[in-house]
Every structure is written in structure tokens, then in C-alpha cells.
Amino acid sequence: MMAFVWSWVLALFPLPWIVRRWAPPVPHTSGRAMKVPHFEDIMTLQSGQLIASIRSRPSKLFWLAIIIWLALLVAAARPQWMGEPVGLPTSGRDLMLAVDLSGSMKIPDFSVNGKEVTRLEVVKATGGEFIARRTGDRVGLIVFGSRAYVQTPLTFDRDTVKAMLKEAEIGLAGQETAIGDAIGLAVKRLKQQPAGSRVLVLLTDGANTAGEVSPTQAATLAKEQGIRIYTIGVGADRMEVPSFFGTQTVNPSRDLNEDMLRHLAQNTGGLYLRAKDTAGLARVYEELDRLEPATTETELFRPTTELFIWPLGLALALSCLLAVSFVWKREWVVRPGWKAGAISARAGAGL
């Protein structure tokens, strides 16, 4: 349907009549006048056509001016075409996902369909599914290694966040692990959002070995800003590796500092979760969905199309037509008048 944003503007339609009716007339000032010889002869010539034109033209111009005034009022009232209501899901939760891209994330201690894959490959697959389920949440992505970087700011465009996570590569941010810097960067981004909806999911497979901010200091800042941190420790605890004497069982997650991750989560009201295999990491994300449900609320949005350009264009076109009409009228009256004056002058001279 069509609606006017400022419909009260239409009440100004009788304004020209009010001004003409009640405004004081312009005072008449006497000035010098030029006497035109043989004026009566000039007015006599072609009097029928001239008087008919003068009498009929103001009536047409009057109605043209009325249409222009009405078109300007309609344009000023901002007509809009309102489309059908569209529901937009939103929950108001702001969730930052911080992913470790240090060198240890290339360890192939996970498996998918019996094939060995690196930790990062599994994080990309399961993390992408987790992001896709966060309907209505603003999701952002931070990658960290020796330094921390914002890969994607908070956005409702989950497809873009998934694509940026898929394009992340090991060593992109350095080979070490700056957990404190990642948390500090997340705090800087999340503190600008409404309180009570700030969540950080930090995924790593090691300990803090780089950065300018310690994880404990960063967690304290997060707690002050009301940010809940969920930490995820990634990596298997047993792995068969070839050696000189055959195969040897090692712990590929010996560098994982679980005590620190558990302290970071508990200090901010979050939770520490451990993922030792692909299925375990998938269960971790399901647990996060349960702890931080993407409860959606539907907000109605009506797409609108501005229509003021059409009455405004009509008023402009008619104004040009009105200006051309005045110019044409002036030329039609003045030129024949001078001809008639010349004829009368010649007649008076006896030519």
C-alpha cells in the first residue's frame, strides 16, 4: 500500500489562496512612464486575436500553477510504497570465534572417514557447521598465532564468516600462540556491543607462548566487560607415529595448557571443553549451542520504495512548460505591437 510520511504537508494546499485573500497588496509606486505614439492604433490592430489570447491564457496558466503546487505538496509529504512485512530473525547475541592458526594446528591427529586430517581441517568443518546454526546472532572471527587479527567483524552474514574461516591457513598469523592478545582483541570488539550478550569462543591446541597481554590479564578485562569465555582444547591424547624401532605412541597434546584454559573459562562465567577427536569436537559445538542457545525473535520489516521523485519530476516539467509559455506570450504580444506601431507611424507621416 501507499502511505505518506508527512501527510500533514497536504494541509498547506489552500496556502496560496490565503496569502492572496489576506495579505496586504503591494503598494503602488509612481514612476516615470514612456509615452508610446499612436497607442490607439497599435491596440486596434489584431485586437480580436490579441484580446482572446489574453483572456484565455491566464485561465490555463492558473490551473497549471495549481497542479504544480499540488505536485510539490505531494512530493514534500514523502509518498512511499510499503511492501509486504518480512520477518527478520534476531537474538541480540554477539559471538566472537577465536581460532588458533599456530604451527601445531597442522598435526594430523584427527581422522575423518578413516583418513588422517589436520586439526585445522576439522576445526574448519565443524566450526562452519556451528556458525551456520547461529541463526540471528552476530558472529565474528579472530585468527591468532604470534599475533591476533580480526578476520571478520561482527556481522549477521554467517556465510561470509564461514568462507573466511575456510580460507584460514596455518601460519597466517605466525607460528606461536598469543592467547592473551586474542582475548584482548575480542574484548575490544565486544565491549562496544550491548551488555549481557557478549560471548567469546576460543579454540586452541597449546599454551600461551607469545603476545603482549597475558591470558590472565585479558580474562580479567573480559570479566569486567561482562564477556563470557568458552575455551576449547583441541588435540588427541594418543597418536601413533613411525620411529626407528617401528611405531611409537606419543601424546600430541602435551603442550596444551588445560589448567589455564579452565581458569579463563571459569573466571568469566564460561566453560572449558575438551575435543580429542572429530566427534568430540562436534559434541563440543553442540554443547555450546545448548549453553548459549540461538533463541530467535522475529522483527517485522516492511521494505519501502520512495515515490516522491515522480510528483517532483512532474512539478519540474510543468514549471518548465509554464516558463516557456510566459516567454512565448511575451514574444507574441511585443513583436506584433512594434509592427503595428511602425505602421501607424508611417500612416501618420503620410507615407
Q: How far apart are CA 198 and CA 192, in angstroms?
A: 10
Query: In terms of pLDDT, which residue wins out, 70 or 135?
Result: 70
What is the CA angle 88-135-231, rounded to 5?
145
| DSSP letter, residue 1 | -
Fold category of 88-301 in CATH: Rossmann fold (3.40.50)
| Contacts (Cβ under 8 Å, ≥6 apart) of 150 | 140, 141, 142, 185, 189
Query: In terms of pLDDT, which residue wins out, 295 or 267?
Result: 267
Give the pLDDT band (50/70/90) at residue 348. very low
Query: Across the strands, what pairs with 96?
Result: 140, 200
Q: What is the pTM of this model?
A: 0.59
Lowest mean pLDDT among 144-148, 160-164, 205-209: 205-209
Average pLDDT over residues 221-226: 92
Residue 161, CA atoms < 13 Å, CB-side half-sphere? 29
pLDDT at 327: 73
Q: Which residue ranges make up each domain of the chain?
A: 88-301, 318-351
pLDDT at 218: 93
pLDDT at 201: 94
Average pLDDT over residues 180-185: 94
Q: State in Å, rounded, how far the first CA of the chain is from the last one.
A: 74
Measured CA to CA in angstroms, residue 277 lies from 103, 130, 134 at distances of 19, 16, 23
User: Is residue 186 within 8 Å of 153, Cβ to Cβ?
Assistant: no
pLDDT at 62: 78
Average pLDDT over residues 168-187: 91
pLDDT digits (tens, 9 = 90+) for 22-74: 877 766 655 555 555 555 555 554 444 444 444 444 567 778 888 999 999 99
pLDDT at 337: 46
Percentage of the chain beyond pLDDT 70 is 77
The position carrying cell 505591437 is 337
Highest mean pLDDT range out of 78-82, 248-252, 338-342? 78-82
Q: How far apart are CA 239 and CA 129, in angstroms?
A: 26
Query: Across the strands, what pairs with 249?
Result: 240
Average pLDDT over residues 106-112: 85
Q: How far apart are CA 297 and CA 91, in angstroms?
A: 6
Mean of the per-residue pLDDT values of the chain: 80
Q: How far apart are CA 81 and CA 2, in angstroms?
A: 4
Give the pLDDT band (50/70/90) at residue 241. low
User: Is residue 138 within 8 Å of 154, Cβ to Cβ?
Assistant: yes
- Given a cut of 90, whether residue 152 has pLDDT beyond it is yes
Amino acid at 200: L
Q: How far apart are CA 170 and CA 159, in angstroms?
A: 21
The position carrying cell 626407528 is 244
Percentage of the chain beyond pLDDT 90 is 33
Give the pLDDT band (50/70/90) at residue 346. very low
pLDDT at 167: 92
Q: How far apart are CA 101 and CA 164, in angstroms?
A: 13
- Residue-wise burial string across 131-164, b where 16 or more C-beta atoms lie within 10 A, e elsewhere: beebebbbbbbbbbbbbbbbbbebeeebeebbee
Give the pLDDT band (50/70/90) at residue 98. very high
- Given a cut of 90, whether residue 16 has pLDDT beyond it is no
CA neighbor of 188 nearest in space, from 176, 198, 174: 198
